[in-house]
Amino acid sequence: MSNSLLDTLLLSSKIQPSEDYDAVYENLPVVIAESTKELDAAFAKLDEAGGYGYIATWRKNLFAFNTKLLSKRCGLIDENGSLLKAARVPKN
């Protein structure tokens, strides 16, 4: 995980720091995957969190992420905390 991506993320008013995950967005965990090579590890972290949350990546790397192939449970945000794909969380 790059500290610069996390540092940039935390500058957004939408992102809060977290002791358990890389960060928190709308009360859901955020894990960082700077490239597709880190996706498996990011999914594993989200599974530990109940499977629902967000993956954060650099906007410049989005071409490598096929958002339709990402888990339907997780969303995608860029380094500025901008929502690129909403997480589908079941309604209680």
Tell me, what's the pLDDT at 92? 58
Tell me, what's the pLDDT at 8? 92
pLDDT tier for residue 17 given thresholds of 50, 70 and 90: very high
pTM (2 d.p.): 0.83
Show me where the domains of the chain are located. 3-85
- Render pLDDT for 44-64 as a digit per residue (tens, 0 to 9): 898 888 878 899 988 887 777
pLDDT exceeds 60 at position 2? no
Angle at 80 between CA 65 and CA 26, to 5 degrees: 90
* Residue 8 token pair: 């940039």
DSSP 42-71: HHHHHHHTTS-EEEE--GGGGGG--TTTS-
Could you tell me which of 32, 42, 84 has the C-alpha nearest to residue 63?
84
